[in-house]
Chain A
Amino acid sequence: MSLKNKQYWRSLDQLDGTAEFKRFLKAEFPEDAREENGDQVSRRQFLGLFGASMALAGLVNCRRPVEKIIPHVIQPEDRVPGVPVDYRTTMPFGNSAYGLTVRTYDGRPVKIEGSPAHPSTLGKSNAFMQAEILNLYDPDRSKSVLFNGAERTWDDFVVAWRELYKENLSARGEGLAILSPSFSSPTLSRLAKDFFRNFPRARWIVYDAITDENIYKGVKAATGRDLFPHYKFENAQVVVALDADFLMLESESLNAARGFAKARTINSVDDEINRLYVIESGWSVTGAMADHRHVLPGSQIGAYAAALALELKSFGLNVPGIDNISPEISQKIDKKWLTEVAKDLLIHLGESIVIAGRTQSLAVHALVLAINSALGNVGRTIDYRLKEDEFTPDANELALLKSDIDNGLLKTLIILGGNPVYDAAVTLNIKKVDCSIHLSDRVNETSQLATWHIPAAHFLESWGDARSIDGTPSIIQPMIEPLHGGKSDVEVLNLVATGQDERGYDIVRMTWQSMLPRRDFENSWRKILHDGMVQNESRTIVPYIQSRGVQTALDYYPVDAPSPTKESLEVLLVPSTQVFDGRYANNGWLLENPDPLTKLTWDNAALLSPQTAQELGLKNNDLVTIKVTTKSITLPVWIVPGIANFVIAIPLGFGRSAAGRVGNNVGVNAFKLRSQANSYILGEAHATKATGTYQLASTQDHGSMEGRPLVREASIEEYRQHPEFAQEMVEHPPLKSLWKEHKYEDGYQWGMVIDLNTCIGCGVCTVACQSENNITIVGKEQVANGREMHWIRVDRYFEGDPAFPRVVHQPVACQHCEMAPCEGVCPVAATVHDAEGLNLMVYNRCVGTRYCSNNCPYKVRRFNFFNYIKDYAETIKMVQNPNVTVRSRGVMEKCTFCLQRINEAKFNAKQQDREIQDGDIQTACQQACPTNAIKFGNILDPGSEVAHARQNNRNYGILSELNLKTRTSFLAKLRNPNSNLA
């Protein structure tokens, strides 16, 4: 036998070539790890991706697609393993675009921050943005193209689509429809034009589960044009919010919160601050910030807006389009609330904002625009810009789509993201369509019914673009090769529209070639990739208000709805602060981040006022069945003082059945109560107590401050009379120590000041900290047992009259006491002080007696009761910050003032042979905080922001009478009430 013919076999089975052996062989030596290793990223693949993204990251600030995986034989310049590189990109969110700075370690993105130059974020972020990094590494993302549930490849789909493409081309798009969420992408918009060029008879339906449709349509009704508002809260002295949570849940809330905080900031007794009137039905963080909060059921808020318009008119202001409003409408509203608000608005002509929330009808929005216009606000505190590449949602189109499907008129349906089967008010019978294609990051409720499922690439894995709040075109660029072979919406739409399978990079670049001057394109393209966006001239206009349009809108959508009663309740559907519309349902960080007002985690609940609960015979954790027309859901009750009576507020986005291992069957799906996609206020609801109870998990059981001076608050008048009120609130004997205290007089001495006057309580600090410091989630049972791990929590207290309570928020993390009570009691010296005033936690030395926690007056220490990290999926390990120890079982942990960031700054400063400057270090919570409420720095540096804040007369420490000498202090909260309305 010649050598060439020699056959080697590994076992007798192989010789036989049994099927079993072949299976074994394939499993043991997969040709394509991605296809075979369904559930997790194999080590080989991980290294592959790693290498690819390293190569991708080879050119700093310039992203080039690299298809081949090549190891570094020669290390690229500027590339130091372990040294992070920050890139700019953009997170698309409906019609919004949030500019980001993403920190990557060796090609692995680990932390998201806002991009300081970007107008939508201004360097700040919200909890959703922070948590996107966890979504990227979600092990439950889909990993393969599916055809009727069977695994296929992208190439299979390309082949299949080309067949369909030809068919549809000849039918000119008859029977073809695209269902997409709203977007503002120039590239998608360009491809949409291609699509309609090829398929002129095709339909394009834009649908959002939580939609700003009423806002857009209201503006259109009043002006006749498609316009987008851009509020400039920094210029507004008086703000009237009508069911508008503009600080957190409305679109572009980051920009709004930043502007609002600017107008709220007070540095001395002579400063003026803005005044906020909130008229709302449920509780929002905006309502908690209000100087005056008026509780009205959502259905009555339109009446308030109308009455306010009449009141303004009676003072001589010409509000267009209100002639048909019956004067009787003012009878329903508290007279004082009309007169005083109107007066305040008239004093501040051109420097006020009246803003309505997305829950309100288009007529209310048209009316509010008319009011703003009459007040001279448009163009001064509110800019409007023309629609460019935006696709905006339309609920009517969705209803038409349903009837098309039901009538068998639709042959091909392409769903570009979203989850309409779960959240649409109408039942889309997708199975009835010959071929449905769903692009989604996971096999969700909609994918399960679709013919084709295409795994969607995360925005951190894909190329794309979007326009931000002021129309700024922003670029989406990948930080990492798609982990699971996902495709971006750009790539899928390009294939659908043109039949070409092209790379996202080429598609996006082509768009931008037409947007930028051809001359010198390469240079400007590189600059855009570096900046993440391009500065463009503002395209704002001051629209003319058509009084006929406003009047017609008010005729069509009357504002005099009947008030809810015990027999006919009102349901208020609100986006969840945790999962928004359900898209973050599998995100543990967000599910465990307590709601700012209810402090509930891991569930939604029927939120109602104590009086409503009493009349309906309900208490906390009771189950209640809520029925609207023929639709009903059963969910637990949570009583929140300060919600309008006979209103049941229910957060949306829960009750997913195909979200993933974390999010399945968490809470109850309240979308089921809807019969129209743009309705948030559902009248004529009935609630009956259901049998049984359901245990909700709240991180804060006790809502009262018990008269303790924790959050110190005064009106601005009181503050002017007693500027030192915060310190004077507590009397105590002189604080003397039994021993000689350490002085902490030289070097860096770190300190933090939290301004309660601008803190809105949104809770982004908690998630930012979680992301930065590798803080684990523990699950609902553990939260219910008081074992959540958050290093910074936001305490919420109710105060005042239980019927009309006010809410204050207070972020609490380790206070870094100079005389720390935790340190003395640790028997193994695992928590000690350093020379820079930090209270350190030495994980390696900790044996876990938990004595430190018992002796901590702030209860900010967190203990690993179990080995929570044991079951981390491989991909979740990639989200960990490599500079922060991952803690195991039995160890105490707590806020470190982001020690790793301090050390990084020290390292950089030393390399540059200089001292650390103020602003070099931002803690994760500080960096994320949209209102700049958190200040951090060297308290010995007289020029530092934190030293200034500590000099502020509102500065106080909680429990300072215990002589703890905390390094964290607070600036007392101020309210600016209208003395005539108090």
Chain B
Amino acid sequence: MASQAEPLILGHPTFRTITDDVSQLTERKTPLPWYFLFAMAVSLALLLFGMLAYLFIEGVGVWGVNIPIAWGWAIINFVFWVGIGHAGTLISAILFLLRQKWRTSINRFAEAMTIFAVICALIFPSVHVGRIWLVYWLFPYPNQMAMWPNFRSPLEWDIFAVFTYFVVSAMFWFVGLVPDLATLRDRAKNLRRKKIFGFLALGWRGGNRQWKHYELAYLLLAGLSTPLVLSVHSVVSTDFATSQLPGWHTTIFPPYFVAGAVFSGFAMVTTLAIIVRRVFHIEHIITLKHLENMAKVMLATSLMVGYAYSVEFFIAWYSGNMYERFVFINRALGPYAWGYWTMITCNVLVPQLFWFKKLRTSIPVLFIATIFINIGMWFERFVIIVSSLSQDFLPSSWAYYRPTWGDILTFIGSFGLFFSLFLLFVRFLPIVAMAEVKGVLPEANPHYENKGEHS
């Protein structure tokens, strides 16, 4: 196993140092830069709420959407944020089931990132509807109209998929937090912390039976989450794939979307990990090895989406469908060619750097490349949604889409909400799963005998 060849955690930490390193981040006095960053993030979040208020008062017309391009940035942002969320679940659930122990250092904040990203994602479809005050009609609930929602609609499937995903992810995250919350409770120096963490720790005592139940619960939740990783973005992709629209109507979408989601999610986790390990000096816990592994995943998923891009073209030609063919030629050469080539550059060309060990282990390269990947993945959704809608069957209806400042500020604001939540998380909760990290230390091995260095 990799852990044998190369230690997962560097600097020979002990159980105690790990507890100290992680816990003290939440216990020490709030560092000034945190206030600064939080203020920035909260003001952006307020911008989001301001833009939403403006939207509620005026109507969806404040955005750039029109006929034929009835979905614009809101849906792009929705798919973008849901995609980002995927990395968290993938790392915690699938890598857990696959016994990839290196995941322990990053799974906690990757999961947190998932939840916050899904919160951001959920905002967009709920506010993009014309009559926001009636959006609850999308939920199946008993009502005096005796009306069910239309279960044939992929948007309805979305509701179930995304909400299930949100609930399961939140549960998974919280269950994983319980032992660490207990640690914080036990270390608490004042009554308030004691009470709060005491409440959240659900009476965790670290007993053998508790661990046994805990691990079973964690395994079950991991098992539950695993299909969700695949299902959520597959369902989101059916919004497009089940429609008539050339450029949307393709069977490749579910796997293509999932690969894209994992790709963008890993990019986001890497970006955040690079910042977090640096700011909180936990380079020994989140090591270069972790970053390199993530780069490898990104390279693999990049190849998958690159393959999907080319297969789409092949099918467009092979199908002999003139509308389909037009849409794809138009994507690469038409009015949105700039968007298409941005996407190709960021998603297919940039990750090719990761073939080289030197580059994939270089922090600056990784940092910049992951940001490019996220830009590219946003453009992927832009290209799919906007370029297909703008030029479909009847040329008389063709139009060009321009976002308004409402679109742009709302999107920027959603980053504010995301980072506000993330900053609250890194300040008040253990950003690394202490219990799990300890589990992958050599000391955790029952056969570990000596503190000596005979490796």
A residues engaging B (CB < 8 A)? 700-708, 710, 782, 785-787, 793, 795-797, 810, 812, 821, 824-829, 845-851, 853-855, 857-859, 861-867, 889-892, 958-959, 962
**Please, how many angstroms separate the alpha-carbon atoms of A850 and B154 in the complex?**
13
- CB–CB A849/B129 < 8 A: yes
Chain B residues lying within 8 Å of A825, measured Cβ to Cβ, are 152-155, 242-243
Q: How many residues of chain B have a CB within 8 Å of chain A?
A: 49
- B304-312, B394-402, B438-446: which one contacts chain A? B394-402
Of A703, A707, A849, A891, most B-chain CB atoms within 10 Å: A849
- CB–CB A828/B67 < 8 A: no
Does B393 reach chain A (CB closer than 8 Å)? Answer: yes
Q: Given the known inter-chain contacts A889-B131, A890-B129, please indicate yes or no for A701 contacting B65, CB distance below 8 A.
A: no
Q: What is the interface of chain B mostly: helix, strand, loop, or mixed?
A: loop
**Please, how many angstroms separate the alpha-carbon atoms of A261 and B313 in the complex?**
47
Chain B residues lying within 8 Å of A824, measured Cβ to Cβ, are 150, 152-153, 242
Q: What is the CB-to-nearest-CB distance from B178 to chain A, in angstroms, rounded to a whole number?
A: 37
Question: Which of A786, A826, A857, A891 lies in contact with B66, CB distance below 8 A?
Answer: A786
Chain A residues lying within 8 Å of B242, measured Cβ to Cβ, are 824-825
**Please, how many angstroms separate the alpha-carbon atoms of A708 and B137 in the complex?**
40
Q: Given the known inter-chain contacts A847-B134, A857-B244, please indicate yes or no for A829 contacting B150, CB distance below 8 A.
A: yes
Q: What is the interface of chain A mostly: helix, strand, loop, or mixed?
A: loop
Within 8 A of A (CB), among B104-134: 128-132, 134
Chain B residues lying within 8 Å of A853, measured Cβ to Cβ, are 67-68, 70
Chain B residues lying within 8 Å of A703, measured Cβ to Cβ, are 395
- CB–CB A866/B61 < 8 A: yes
**Please, how many angstroms separate the alpha-carbon atoms of A547 and B135 in the complex?**
78
- Closest B residue to A855 using CB positions: B243
Question: Which of A821, A829, A850, A859 lies in contact with B243, CB distance below 8 A?
Answer: A821
- CB–CB B67/A857 < 8 A: no
- CB–CB A847/B129 < 8 A: yes
- CB–CB A851/B394 < 8 A: no
- CB–CB B392/A847 < 8 A: no
**Please, how many angstroms separate the alpha-carbon atoms of A629 and B400 in the complex?**
41
Chain A residues lying within 8 Å of B65, measured Cβ to Cβ, are 850, 865
- CB–CB A702/B395 < 8 A: yes
Not counting A706-B395, A859-B397, A864-B59, a sample of 4 additional A-B residue pairs whose C-beta atoms are within 8 angstroms of each other reads A847-B129, A850-B71, A850-B130, A855-B244
Interface residues as binary, B21-32 with A (CB distance below 8 Å gives 1, 0 otherwise)? 000000000000
Shortest 6 CB-CB contacts between residues of A and residues of B: A848-B130, A890-B130, A865-B61, A786-B66, A850-B70, A795-B396
Chain A residues lying within 8 Å of B152, measured Cβ to Cβ, are 824-825
- Closest B residue to A703 using CB positions: B395
Q: Given the known inter-chain contacts A708-B395, A812-B396, A849-B155, please indicate yes or no for A854 contacting B70, CB distance below 8 A.
A: yes
Q: What is the CB-to-nearest-CB distance from B64 to chain A, in angstroms, rounded to a whole number?
A: 7
Q: Given the known inter-chain contacts A701-B398, A824-B153, A863-B67, please indicate yes or no for A858 contacting B134, CB distance below 8 A.
A: no
What are 22 A-to-B residue pairs whose CB atoms are below 8 Å?
A700-B397, A706-B395, A710-B395, A786-B69, A793-B396, A795-B396, A797-B395, A812-B396, A821-B244, A829-B149, A829-B150, A845-B147, A848-B130, A853-B68, A854-B71, A855-B244, A858-B397, A859-B392, A863-B130, A864-B130, A889-B131, A958-B394
Q: What is the CB-to-nearest-CB distance from B323 to chain A, in angstroms, rounded to a whole number?
A: 8
Chain B residues lying within 8 Å of A846, measured Cβ to Cβ, are 130-131
Q: Given the known inter-chain contacts A848-B129, A891-B130, please indicate yes or no for A858 contacting B393, CB distance below 8 A.
A: yes
Within 8 A of A (CB), among B38-91: 58-61, 64-71
Question: Which of B137, B243, B389, B394 lies in contact with A828, CB distance below 8 A?
Answer: B137
- CB–CB B394/A812 < 8 A: yes
**Please, how many angstroms separate the alpha-carbon atoms of A865 and B65 in the complex?**
9
- CB–CB B156/A854 < 8 A: no
Q: Given the known inter-chain contacts A827-B149, A857-B392, A865-B59, please indicate yes or no for A706 contacting B326, CB distance below 8 A.
A: yes
Chain A residues lying within 8 Å of B394, measured Cβ to Cβ, are 708, 710, 795, 812, 857-859, 958
Of A812, A848, A892, most B-chain CB atoms within 10 Å: A848
Q: Given the known inter-chain contacts A828-B150, A854-B245, A959-B393, please indicate yes or no for A848 contacting B326, CB distance below 8 A.
A: no
**Please, how many angstroms separate the alpha-carbon atoms of A859 and B397 in the complex?**
7
**Please, how many angstroms separate the alpha-carbon atoms of A859 and B67 in the complex?**
7
Q: What is the CB-to-nearest-CB distance from B419 to chain A, in angstroms, rounded to a whole number?
A: 29
Chain A residues lying within 8 Å of B147, measured Cβ to Cβ, are 828-829, 845
Chain B residues lying within 8 Å of A958, measured Cβ to Cβ, are 394
**Please, how many angstroms separate the alpha-carbon atoms of A892 and B138 in the complex?**
16
Chain A residues lying within 8 Å of B69, measured Cβ to Cβ, are 786
- CB–CB B71/A827 < 8 A: no
Q: What is the CB-to-nearest-CB distance from A833 to chain B, in angstroms, rounded to a whole number?
A: 12
Q: What is the CB-to-nearest-CB distance from A858 to chain B, in angstroms, rounded to a whole number?
A: 6
Q: What is the CB-to-nearest-CB distance from B112 to chain A, in angstroms, rounded to a whole number?
A: 30
- Closest B residue to A782 using CB positions: B61
- CB–CB A826/B150 < 8 A: yes
**Please, how many angstroms separate the alpha-carbon atoms of A86 and B326 in the complex?**
51
Question: Which of A702, A782, A865, A867 lies in contact with B398, CB distance below 8 A?
Answer: A702
**Please, how many angstroms separate the alpha-carbon atoms of A962 and B392 in the complex?**
13
**Please, how many angstroms separate the alpha-carbon atoms of A810 and B132 in the complex?**
36
- CB–CB A847/B398 < 8 A: no
Question: Which of A786, A827, A864, A865 lies in contact with B156, CB distance below 8 A?
Answer: A827
- CB–CB B61/A705 < 8 A: no
Chain B residues lying within 8 Å of A863, measured Cβ to Cβ, are 60, 67, 70, 130
Interface residues as binary, B243-254 with A (CB distance below 8 Å gives 1, 0 otherwise)? 111000000000
Of A864, A890, A958, A962, most B-chain CB atoms within 10 Å: A890
- CB–CB B131/A866 < 8 A: no
Chain B residues lying within 8 Å of A705, measured Cβ to Cβ, are 395
- CB–CB B60/A865 < 8 A: yes
Does B322 reach chain A (CB closer than 8 Å)? Answer: yes
Chain A residues lying within 8 Å of B8, measured Cβ to Cβ, are none
Question: Which of B131, B243, B400 lies in contact with A701, CB distance below 8 A?
Answer: B400
Does B235 reach chain A (CB closer than 8 Å)? Answer: no
**Please, how many angstroms separate the alpha-carbon atoms of A504 and B322 in the complex?**
65
- CB–CB A704/B155 < 8 A: no
Chain B residues lying within 8 Å of A708, measured Cβ to Cβ, are 322-323, 393-395
- CB–CB A854/B389 < 8 A: yes
Chain A residues lying within 8 Å of B239, measured Cβ to Cβ, are 851
- Closest A residue to B130 using CB positions: A848
- Closest A residue to B244 using CB positions: A821
Chain A residues lying within 8 Å of B269, measured Cβ to Cβ, are none
Question: Which of A702, A707, A827 lies in contact with B150, CB distance below 8 A?
Answer: A827
Does B159 reach chain A (CB closer than 8 Å)? Answer: yes
- CB–CB A890/B59 < 8 A: yes
Chain B residues lying within 8 Å of A847, measured Cβ to Cβ, are 129-131, 134-135, 137-138
Within 8 A of A (CB), among B389-417: 389, 392-400
Question: Which of B68, B71, B244 lies in contact with A786, CB distance below 8 A?
Answer: B68
Chain B residues lying within 8 Å of A812, measured Cβ to Cβ, are 394, 396
Q: What is the CB-to-nearest-CB distance from B69 to chain A, in angstroms, rounded to a whole number?
A: 7
Within 8 A of A (CB), among B229-270: 239, 242-245
Q: What is the CB-to-nearest-CB distance from A25 to chain B, in angstroms, rounded to a whole number?
A: 37
Question: Which of B60, B67, B397 lies in contact with A890, CB distance below 8 A?
Answer: B60
Chain A residues lying within 8 Å of B58, measured Cβ to Cβ, are 866
**Please, how many angstroms separate the alpha-carbon atoms of A825 and B397 in the complex?**
21
**Please, how many angstroms separate the alpha-carbon atoms of A821 and B152 in the complex?**
11
Question: Which of B59, B64, B148 lies in contact with A866, CB distance below 8 A?
Answer: B59
Interface residues as binary, B144-182 with A (CB distance below 8 Å gives 1, 0 otherwise)? 000111101111100100000000000000000000000
- CB–CB B130/A854 < 8 A: no
- CB–CB B396/A702 < 8 A: yes
- CB–CB B393/A827 < 8 A: no
- CB–CB A786/B67 < 8 A: yes
Q: What is the CB-to-nearest-CB distance from B310 to chain A, in angstroms, rounded to a whole number?
A: 25
**Please, how many angstroms separate the alpha-carbon atoms of A861 and B150 in the complex?**
19
Q: What is the CB-to-nearest-CB distance from B103 to chain A, in angstroms, rounded to a whole number?
A: 36
Q: What is the CB-to-nearest-CB distance from B438 to chain A, in angstroms, rounded to a whole number?
A: 47
- Closest A residue to B326 using CB positions: A706
**Please, how many angstroms separate the alpha-carbon atoms of A263 and B61 in the complex?**
47
**Please, how many angstroms separate the alpha-carbon atoms of A708 and B396 in the complex?**
11
Q: What is the CB-to-nearest-CB distance from A545 to chain B, in angstroms, rounded to a whole number?
A: 47
Chain A residues lying within 8 Å of B392, measured Cβ to Cβ, are 857, 859
